[in-house]
Amino acid sequence: MNAVDTNVLVYAVDATEPTKQARATAILGELSQRDEQLVVPWQTAVEFLACLRRWENESRITRDDTHAYLIDFLAVPPIVFPSIAALDISLDLSSRYSLSHWDSMLLAACIETGVDTLYTEDLDAGTTYDSVQVVNPFV
């Protein structure tokens, strides 16, 4: 199973980063065509919404744009939710790998829901954190 981090969704709609926008759009298309399921962790979904709302406040996009982006990017891949056990997993990951709270929470949710590969630019590409391999789609 594959998952994407917030930065992949954000770059897919961010016209100020055309190279990354093209790559993010391509990777989302590629992942949606694979036999392996693509999922969006809950944390990714809410961080994406927070970014879109910030752009609304800055008048970069409208509320209708926000709604359209949410429909476009979050309607097809299922959103996976961590359980309370993810908190313990996160604490362990944070300690063993010196990760930030949010990075360890994202990885914990991925581990718990059976994600094999996480696409993100925020963690060390090529590293496997327990059962989750990190791939940076932008390098």
SS3 assignment, position 4? strand
Task: Give the sheet arrangement for strand 79-80, strand by strand.
Answer: 79-80, 38-41, 2-4, 117-119, 132-135, 128-129
Say what the pLDDT of residue 63 is.
Answer: 95
Considering only CA atoms, which of 73, 77, 120 is closest in space to residue 99? 120
Q: Could you tell me if 82 and 97 are in contact, meaning their C-beta atoms sit under 8 angstroms apart? A: no
SS3 assignment, position 57? helix
Mention every residue, 6+ apart, whose C-beta is less than 8 A from residue 45: 74, 79
Instruction: Give the chain's domains with CATH numbers.
Output: 2-135 (3.40.50.1010)
Say what the pLDDT of residue 36 is.
Answer: 86
Tokens of 15: 């016209």
**C-alpha span between 113 and 2 (Å, rounded):** 10
pLDDT tens for each residue of 28-80: 999 998 888 999 999 999 999 999 999 999 999 999 999 999 988 877 788 99
pLDDT tens for each residue of 78-128: 899 999 999 999 999 999 999 999 999 999 999 999 999 999 999 988 899
Say what the pLDDT of residue 77 is.
Answer: 86
SS3 assignment, position 60? coil
Q: How far is CA 3 from the centre of its chain?
A: 6
Phi, psi (degrees; rounded to nearest 5) at 58 = -90, 5
